[in-house]
């Protein structure tokens, strides 16, 4: 289809408002800007939030709370069904980039579970959803979470195993002295 072959849809385009073309048009003389004043001048107008010099509302109200927008961790998402576009059976940043599924930036990669997969892949990503993990393993593939900066939280069994392996040091106990004994001797 060429640009000159695109059909025009009724109501999609409107004629431009022709200003300053005589009083009979309804938009003549002042061209809809009224008489004089800052808003009638070219380049005139005031910024959003300006209240004529009075302390504006947004400066009167206190700033509260915290927003982690600057510290957020953002991820590029790839769905399981898109892995079929990757050549070979190893899926990593390079192969996803070559297949055009992600952009070449510093963001992490998260695998999501939308769609079906028929081939066994070895997938190296930073994060993966539960359904994506199930579908990869059900197809006979393996999932490797390659973000080494975030170690998984220790489970209770790991903590118990560590405490059993290392015996607690025995503290030397001082002989107990009773306050009543000390007062009898005196």
The domains of the chain, with CATH numbers, are 73-145 (3.100.10.10)
Distance CA 93, CA 111 (A): 12
Mean pLDDT of the residues in the chain: 85
| 186 pLDDT above the threshold of 90 | no
Tens-place pLDDT, residues 112-165: 999 999 999 999 999 999 999 999 999 999 999 986 444 444 444 444 555 555
The pLDDT score that the predictor gives to residue 155 is 43
Contacts (Cβ under 8 Å, ≥6 apart) of 74: 107, 108
| pLDDT at residue 6 greater than cutoff 90 | no
Condensed to tens digits (0 to 9), the pLDDT of residues 92-110 reads 999 999 999 999 999 999 9
Q: What share of the chain in percent tops pLDDT 70?
A: 78
């Amino acid at each position: 289809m060429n640009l000159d072959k695109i059909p025009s849809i009724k109501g999609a385009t409107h004629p431009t408002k022709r200003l300053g073309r005589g009083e009979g048009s309804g938009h003549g003389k002042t061209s809809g800007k009224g008489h004089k004043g800052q808003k009638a001048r070219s380049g005139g107008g005031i910024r959003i939030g300006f209240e004529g010099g009075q302390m504006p509302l947004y400066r009167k109200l206190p700033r509260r709370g915290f927003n982690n927008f600057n510290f957020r961790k953002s991820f590029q998402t790839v769905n399981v069904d898109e892995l079929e576009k990757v050549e070979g059976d190893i899926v990593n940043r390079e192969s996803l980039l070559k297949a055009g599924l992600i952009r070449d930036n510093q963001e992490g990669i998260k695998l999501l579970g939308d769609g079906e997969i028929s081939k066994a892949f070895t997938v190296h990503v930073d994060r993966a959803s539960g359904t994506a993990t199930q579908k990869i393993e059900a197809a006979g593939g393996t999932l490797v979470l390659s973000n080494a900066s975030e170690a998984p939280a220790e489970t209770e069994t790991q903590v118990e195993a560590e405490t059993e392996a290392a015996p607690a040091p025995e503290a030397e106990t001082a002989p107990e002295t009773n306050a009543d004994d000390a007062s009898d001797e005196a």
